[in-house]
Structure 1
Amino acid sequence: MDSFVAASKTVPLSRQVRGYIALTKPRIIELLLITTVPAMVVAKGGIPSLWKMAITVVGGTLAAGGANAVNMWFDRDIDAVMKRTQHRPLVTGDVTPTGALVFAVALEVVAFALLDLGDNFLSAVLALSAALFYIFIYTLWLKRSTSQNIVIGGAAGAVPVLVGWAAIQNNITVASLLMFLIIFLWTPPHFWALAFRYKEDYSKANVPMLPSVKSMRSTSVQIMAYTLVLTAVTLVLGPIAHLGALYDLAALALGLGFFAYSYRLYKTESPKVAMRVFSYSITYLMLLFIAMGVDVVVHHG
């Protein structure tokens, strides 16, 4: 802790605060939480109480933020090598390694208590298990050892829908598992499209992200395959979760759009097109889950 105290004297408080916020990777969390609330709406068959949504969103945010902070703590060596991550707070010294770890553990403890007391034990366990999976399975093991790292590691990012569902129903159902599978299948094409832009970075850091170890053609074929399977699963969810035509049409249109973008990447092998695939993937996930929530409200409102 001495190093932390010493660092706090030299780094302005405002920069430290910004550093701690940056440790949680807030932009990634935003995207995951966009999926949590619609999952709660589908589980409820209507709009849950604002209190229930707030508890679940805040608890999920803290749990994911703690996991992301440990990820940055462990990856600070490769973050210093990669251009994309050279401004992260542990690389710049705005936050110390000890400070980051203490912060991460505190977030996980508060998240578990909040979800356990405010929702139920199942939602708290799910959120903590996602954090532990992300830390121990993805960050400490898979990320540096296999090009399938994001395929398996992406499971952690798919758990927030299960947390949202469990917060309402206190169980796990086929419908909630299909939502989990949607995000699980969405993660590789989403991340690989971004990784095209930074493949030299990953190579320099010896991280075997698929675009840095396989050709663009090979990776784009896998992206296309994932978008097709993803679209099929989104269409299966409709009848299982008792969603209507509004959701079905949205799922089909968004899925065809995702495939069209990935096919264009396959044809052009262009990094610019890869970034368009990445941007579209974010829009895709947001609109798909919004369509779920809207469909439920329209039918039950």
Structure 2
Amino acid sequence: MTDMSVQSPEHEAQFGDYFALLKPRVMTLVVFTAFVGLLVAPVGLHPFVAFCAILFIAVGGGAAGALNMWWDADIDAVMKRTRRRPVPSGRVTSGEALSVGIALSGFSVVMLGLATNWLAAGLLAFTIFFYVAIYSMWLKRATPQNIVIGGAAGAFPPMIGWVAATGSISLESILMFALIFLWTPPHFWALALFMRSDYDDAGVPMLTVTHGRPETRRHILVYTAVLAAFAIWLGVTAASGPVYLVAAIGLNAWFLKGAWNIYQRDEVMAEADNYAVEKAFFKFSLLYLFLHFGALLADAILRAGGII
């Protein structure tokens, strides 16, 4: 829960401080995947309506980020990689973060409903609620499955984009959701393997803390194998094409190889090379989703041009 001691700003907050509340790097992925989900849908939207839909989805994602920073200010202040965030660093008060998050949440949901349809707006509202209440307030501090279940929040944007265009949920949108949902655990567990002290210090029950690193390595391999199956399955649906299918096969073969390399290592080996394999896997995982959704985008462009 938010530590009320993180309240007094060291200086007057600037625009950049409030923008940082929205987690702009995370928002980039939200915007891109939502855009691809909307573009590959079989129903086209007017360009202005499509722009508004992506804008409001992005604002909703930023709202969730602000509410997460409000709630997690106490543990963010402890962890090295988060202590410079606006609230724990004192640049923005907890109350300000809460107000920004609530205001942007309401605005984004209502405007998305007016611009597209209320099913898309309802999914956006549920996404914000899930990320803040289910993941941040409950799962993150209660179970080592926090990342597994909580990953659903980041997986909704392409589904919301698809629903904004079509007004319905389909297999293609579910598989795009699954791609991000199943990617999230190995991505974060790889990070946790070489950042374990952060989670220990903050009291967050990450799998590395509760079950140990060998079990975490096994989980990374299992989830990566399941992820590969769903990623390739998406490649044989109407949402994709040959570019995506070839890319998915190659990317997932590489990702599986990386997971297998991690599984085979022990802590003596990992510490000897400063977790080089784990860090390489994590860095590649940052590109993994962008490359998959970029391939979907390429197929959509080719399809629109009548090339495929």
Could you state the TM-score of these two structures normalised by the residue count of structure 1? 0.91
Match of 2:41 in 1: 43
Q: Quick one: distance in 2 between partners of 1:128 and 1:137? A: 13
Aligned to 1:166: 163
Aligned positions, number = 293
Q: Establish whether residue 21 from structure 1 lines up as the match of residue 19 from structure 2.
A: yes
Q: What residue is the counterpart of 1:208 in the other structure?
A: 205
- Please say if 1:59 is aligned against 2:63: no
Counterpart amino acid of 1:165? Answer: W
Structure with the higher fraction of residues in helix conformation: 1
Deviations 1:38-87 (A, max 9, x none): 111211377x5432332122111111111111111111111112122111
Q: CA deviation at 1:27?
A: 0.6
Q: Cα deviation per residue 1:12-47 (whole Å; 9 max; x = unaligned)?
A: 343xx222111111111112222111111211377x
User: Residue 282 of structure 1 aligns with which residue?
Assistant: 286
1:291 to 287, 295, 301: 295
| TM-score (structure 2 length as normaliser) | 0.89
1:262 to 247, 259, 262: 259
The whole-number CA distance in structure 1 between the counterparts of 2:198 and 2:253 is 31
Q: How does 1:1-301 map to 2 (within 5 A)?
A: 11-14=11-14, 17-44=15-42, 48-241=45-238, 243-269=240-266, 270=270, 271-301=275-305
Q: Distance in 1 between matches of 2:136 and 2:192?
A: 16
Instruction: Provide the rounded CA distance (Å) in 2 between the counterparts of 1:242 and 1:149.
Output: 30
Matched residue SS, 1:147: coil
Q: CA deviation at 1:242?
A: 5.2
Whether contact under 8 Å (1:196, 1:212) holds in the other structure is: no
Deviations 1:212-261 (A, max 9, x none): 22332221221111111111111212223353222211111011111111
- Partner-residue secondary structure (3-state), 2:143: coil
Q: Distance in 1 between matches of 2:65 and 2:153?
A: 11
The two structures, once aligned, show a CA RMSD in angstroms of 1.9
Deviation at residue 263 of structure 1 after TM alignment: 1.7
Tell me if structure 1 keeps the 8 A contact 2:52–2:115. yes
Percent identical among aligned pairs is 40
Which stretches in structure 1 are left out of the alignment for 5+ residues? none
Cα distance in 2 for residues equivalent to 1:187 and 1:13: 32
d(CA) in 2 for partners of 1:276, 1:245:
28
Q: In structure 2, list runs of 5 or more residues that go unmatched.
A: none
CA 70–256 in structure 1, closer or farther in 2 if over 3 Å, else same: same
Q: Distance in 1 between matches of 2:220 and 2:130?
A: 24
- Give me the whole-angstrom Cα distance separating, in 2, the residues matched to 1:52 and 1:256: 38
Q: Is the 8 A contact 1:84 1:198 kept in 2?
A: no
1:300 alignment partner AA = A
